[in-house]
Amino acid sequence: MSRSTGSVGVVIVAAGQGTRLGAAQPKAFVRLAGSTLLEHAVTRALGAADTAHVVVVAPASHLVEAGALVSAHPRSGDVTVVGGGAERTASVAAGLAALRDDVDVVLVHDAARCLAPASLFDRLVEAVREGADAVVPGLPVADTIKVVDATGAVVGTPDRSTLRAVQTPQAFRRSVLVAAHASGADATDDAGLVERVGGRVLVIDGDDLAFKVTTAADLERADRILGP
Ligand SMILES: Nc1ccn([C@@H]2O[C@H](COP(=O)(O)OP(=O)(O)OP(=O)(O)O)[C@@H](O)[C@H]2O)c(=O)n1
Ligand SMILES: C[C@](O)(CO)[C@H](O)COP(=O)(O)O
């Protein structure tokens, strides 16, 4: 494994509708302590030590609004806004295609995990720089997990100590992620695509702040964390 020395790019996917949140606008454009989820995510991504380029993937209906939000950031020149797809995987692919040529370490991040701190980005980049192809943050699970069949009957109880609840950002050597996306495989996260093509994925300690805003209760949790 060789050390990576090129630039770091971050793809922030923000093109989902946020159906489960039920807001009047797409989730990334909902406000939290005065800023949108998207702005919180962009600020933290650009706050990471090595971030050179950020690609924001926005809904086609909100490209102008996303551009206006990004333009307020002092480093707006390092941010590109593109349109997303119908599925998260298609949105990530659109973001990947817009990364600068000199980027060789890519982090894929959900705008919905808007409080993931810059320090988490830094730890992931370091792990790729040390030679890993794909590195994701994960937390131990608190519940016992059952595997069930279509009837609801339990078919297994995995050893909980081997399980991790995986977050974003997820970090990759660019060539590895591009190849995984080109394979046409399907997965609920980018690490899953790499796994499908036989790649090795490393899990490092996640961060409680990287939780996903999915429901109104999650938004309230984020609001409480940011305080008055
Ligand atoms: N077509 C899509 C679907 C999702 N996402 C992004 O992927 C991240 C994780 O998705 P999730 O939290 O499930 O968001 P939504 O799909 O918007 O939520 P819901 O399923 O409630 O509609 C979010 O930042 C979302 O904006 C995206 O860019 N493009
Ligand atoms: C990428 C992800 O956030 C990792 O936990 C998750 O898989 C996204 O899933 P969703 O169904 O698109 O919310």
3-class SS string, the chain: CCCCCCEEEEEEECCCCCCCCCCCCCHHHCEECCEEHHHHHHHHHHHCCCEEEEEEEECHHHHHHHHHHHHCCCCHHHEEEEECCCCHHHHHHHHHHCCCCCEEEEEEEECCCCCCCHHHHHHHHHHHHCCCCEEEEEEECCCCCCEECCCCCEEECCCHHHCEEECCCEEEEHHHHHHHHHCCCCCCCHHHHHHHCCCCCEEEECCHHHCCCCCHHHHHHHHHHHCC
- Mean pLDDT (whole number) for 80-105: 97
* Number of the ligand closest to the Cα of 188: 2
State the average pLDDT over residues 108-119.
Answer: 98
Using the predicted structure, report yes or no on whether residue 179 has a pLDDT greater than 80. yes
Mean pLDDT of the chain: 96
Residues 152-164 have a mean pLDDT of 98
What is the pTM assigned to this prediction? Answer: 0.97
Ligand nearest to the CA of 211: 2
Beta carbon of 18 within 6 Å of any ligand 1 atom: yes
Is 59 near ligand 1, meaning CB less than 6 Å away?
no
Q: Is pLDDT above 80 for 198?
A: yes
Ligand 1 proximity of 27 Cβ (cutoff 6 Å): yes
Residue 1 CA to ligand 1 center (angstroms) comes to 33
Q: Determine if ligand 2 sits within 6 Å of the CB of residue 88.
A: yes
17 CA: nearest ligand 1 atom: 17
Residue 228: pLDDT band by 50, 70, 90 thresholds?
Answer: confident
Asked if pLDDT for residue 1 goes beyond 60, the answer is no
* CATH number of this structure's domain 7-226: 3.90.550.10
